[in-house]
Amino acid sequence: QVQLVESGGGLVQAGGSLRLSCAASRRALTGYTMGWFRQAPGAVREFVAGISWSGGTTNLADSVKGRFTISRDRGNAKNTVYLQMNSLKPEDTAVYYCAAVSFGSVSNYPQEYDYWGQGTQVTVSS
> What would the pLDDT profile of 7-19 be if each residue is shown by its tens digit?
999 999 999 999 9
pLDDT bin (cut points 50, 70, 90) of residue 94 is very high
d(CA 119, CA 121): 7
> In this prediction, what percent of the chain has a pLDDT beyond 70?
97
pLDDT at 28: 80
What pLDDT, on the 0 to 100 scale, is given for residue 124? 98
Q: Is the pLDDT of residue 77 over 70?
A: no
Rg (CA), the chain: 13
The pLDDT value recorded for residue 75 is 64
The whole-number average pLDDT for the span 58-87 is 91
Q: CA-to-CA distance for 97 and 45, rounded, in angstroms?
A: 9
Q: How confident is the model at residue 73 (pLDDT cuts 50, 70, 90)?
A: confident
Structure confidence at residue 31 (pLDDT)? 87
Predicted local confidence at residue 79, as pLDDT: 82
Quick: pLDDT tens for 3-62.
999 999 999 999 999 999 999 877 788 889 999 999 999 999 999 999 998 888 999 999
